[in-house]
């Protein structure tokens, strides 16, 4: 357990990583759904969410769905249809096909590939933004030139190197699915994330910068694609007076009640981003002088939404840390620390931190899938690291990084104490 000569008093109320911030309008719109008896998957709230989201982000069509994962699944079906044509009944659109995916992300980015019968191929991360490495993507296409779909996620609200990534994707005539689940409101060269791909998604999950407790949207400029998703997400019901179905469908449409929460949240997106940015800047200033750095971004070309503030411990300031599949331990060293120690320190004062996403190529379920670095086959590099050599980038960030409490209701005093506790770990 974390120990120090200083004893810090626990917060009376837990300081969360990132919890919902309600404003009052949410309840009004939910009540409107209740009072008008529009409690299903149609209603004014859904219409307003789709209109406001498409207008804010700058796409022609937003389709409100039950989750960001549902939106990713629909995007995957659309991409498979566009790349390979209509599959046989009962066969996934990507059956037997490889798909390039971000390695450092949540499993929801990747799982829809498998839903559709595809095989994820994981692309290593780069240090500048902690996102998909364009050089590794180029190498992946050299190894697997027949791949036609790329799924790229913007980690923790920070845009990836979109110009370089899109250049590679266009070179190989592939389709981009942009996972902007964590980056709503972020921009690259003044263009919103969620507009760069053929099919894009955002999430309104409970800890996102805008939340409905659940929900998400598929975003596209393709009117026909939007129509397909509206049909697929309502069990693919045909236009008949009875229930007729000619293709596989899903129960993925957003509830009008959930849409009421999202509708009430949307006017506060810019305010939430400003609050999150202030938290990031206070951490950056408060941790100055320590052997750590904040999660980076391209200051010349991108503006994150700063959803989560994270730090990375310098290599030579890492104490010994070992992680198994379910447990972790460390050895305290003078003037050094590690994510495990800092997370224990935060827990000791009733504050929530979190490890960086464990890379997909390290997950037991995907451990046999191909993994590509800028040097080629990354599995050899992963095995070399186990023997004591340098890790791949994704693994390195996972080993040395952690997510700090980033709740936009956190007070200045609470954040100051969190900074003090982090600093104490290096004493």
Looking up residue 122, the CATH number of its domain turns out to be: 3.40.640.10
pTM: predicted TM-score of the whole model, two decimal places = 0.95
Which residue segment(s) compose the domain that 276 sits in? 269-424
- For residues 110 and 246, membership in a common domain is answered with yes
Distance CA 16, CA 197 (A): 32
More confident: 62 or 9: 62
Mean pLDDT estimate for the chain: 95
Contact assessment for residue 124 and residue 392, using Cβ atoms and an 8 Å cutoff? yes
Specify the DSSP class assigned to residue 11.
P
Contact assessment for residue 199 and residue 177, using Cβ atoms and an 8 Å cutoff? yes
Residue 2 resides in a domain = no
Domain's final residue, options 249, 267, 285: 267
The per-residue pLDDT for range 88-99, each reduced to its tens digit, is 888 899 999 999
- For residues 40 and 188, membership in a common domain is answered with yes
Q: What is the pLDDT of residue 380?
A: 58
Poorest-pLDDT segment among 92-96, 153-157, 416-420? 92-96
Residue 239 resides in a domain = yes
The per-residue pLDDT for range 108-154, each reduced to its tens digit, is 999 999 999 999 999 999 999 999 999 999 999 999 999 999 999 99
Q: What is the pLDDT of residue 207?
A: 95
Is residue 196 over pLDDT 60?
A: yes
Q: What percent of the chain has pLDDT over 70?
A: 96
Q: Active site residue: 208, 276, 336, 381, which one?
A: 208
β-pair partners for 402: 311, 355
Is residue 386 over pLDDT 80?
A: no
Specify the DSSP class assigned to residue 60.
S
- For residues 312 and 413, membership in a common domain is answered with yes
Distance CA 227, CA 79 (A): 14
- For residues 163 and 302, membership in a common domain is answered with no
- Residue 225 gets the label, from left (phi > 0), alpha (psi -120 to 50) or beta, of alpha
CATH assignment at residue 341: 3.90.1150.10
Neighbour order of strands in the sheet with 119-123:
61-65, 216-220, 199-203, 175-179, 149-153, 98-102, 119-123, 371-373, 376-377
Q: What is the pLDDT of residue 387?
A: 44
Is residue 384 over pLDDT 80?
A: no
Kindly provide the b/e burial profile for residues 17-44, where b requires at least 16 CB atoms within 10 angstroms of the residue's own CB: bbbbbeeebbeebbebbeeeebeebebb
- For residues 180 and 325, membership in a common domain is answered with no
- For residues 55 and 186, membership in a common domain is answered with yes
- For residues 90 and 176, membership in a common domain is answered with yes
- Number of folded domains that form the chain: 2
- For residues 327 and 349, membership in a common domain is answered with yes
* 208 is known as an active-site residue: yes
Specify the DSSP class assigned to residue 1.
-
């Amino acid at each position: 357990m974390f120990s120090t000569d200083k004893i810090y008093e626990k917060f009376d109320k837990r300081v969360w990583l990132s919890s919902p911030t309600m404003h009052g309008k949410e309840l009004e719109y939910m009540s409107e759904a209740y009072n008008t008896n529009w409690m299903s998957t149609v209603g004014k709230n859904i219409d307003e969410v789709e209109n406001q989201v498409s207008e804010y982000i700058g796409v022609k069509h937003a389709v409100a769905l039950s989750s960001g994962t549902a939106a990713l699944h629909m995007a995957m079906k659309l991409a498979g249809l566009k790349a390979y044509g209509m599959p046989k009944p009962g066969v996934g659109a990507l059956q037997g096909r490889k798909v390039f995916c971000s390695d450092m992300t949540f499993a929801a980015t990747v799982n829809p590939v498998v839903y559709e019968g595809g095989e994820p191929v994981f692309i290593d991360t780069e240090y500048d933004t902690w996102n998909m490495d364009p050089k590794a993507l180029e190498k992946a296409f050299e190894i697997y030139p027949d791949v036609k779909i790329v799924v790229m996620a913007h980690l923790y609200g920070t845009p990836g190197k979109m110009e370089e990534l899109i250049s590679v994707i266009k070179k190989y005539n592939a389709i981009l699915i942009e996972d902007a689940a964590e980056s709503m409101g972020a921009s690259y060269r003044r263009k919103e994330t969620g507009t760069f791909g053929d099919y894009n998604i955002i999430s309104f999950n409970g800890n996102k910068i805008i939340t409905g407790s659940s929900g998400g949207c598929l975003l596209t400029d393709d009117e026909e694609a939007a129509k397909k998703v509206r049909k697929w997400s309502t069990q693919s019901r045909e236009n008949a007076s009875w229930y007729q179905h000619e293709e596989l469908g899903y129960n993925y449409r957003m509830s009008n009640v959930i849409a009421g929460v999202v509708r009430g949240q949307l006017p506060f997106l810019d305010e939430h981003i400003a609050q999150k940015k202030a938290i990031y800047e206070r951490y950056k200033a408060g941790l100055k002088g320590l052997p750590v750095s904040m999660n980076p971004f391209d200051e010349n070309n991108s503006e994150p939404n700063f959803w989560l503030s994270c730090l990375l411990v310098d290599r030579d300031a890492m104490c010994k840390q070992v992680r198994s599949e379910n447990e972790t331990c460390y050895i305290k060293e003078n003037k050094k620390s590690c994510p495990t120690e800092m997370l224990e320190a935060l827990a000791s004062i009733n504050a929530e931190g979190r490890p960086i996403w464990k890379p997909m190529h390290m997950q037991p379920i995907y451990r046999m899938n191909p993994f590509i670095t800028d040097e080629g086959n990354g599995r050899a590099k992963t095995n070399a690291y186990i023997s004591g050599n340098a890790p791949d980038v994704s693994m390195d960030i996972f080993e040395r990084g952690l997510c700090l409490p980033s709740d936009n209701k956190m007070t200045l005093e609470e954040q100051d104490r969190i900074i003090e506790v982090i600093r104490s770990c290096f004493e």
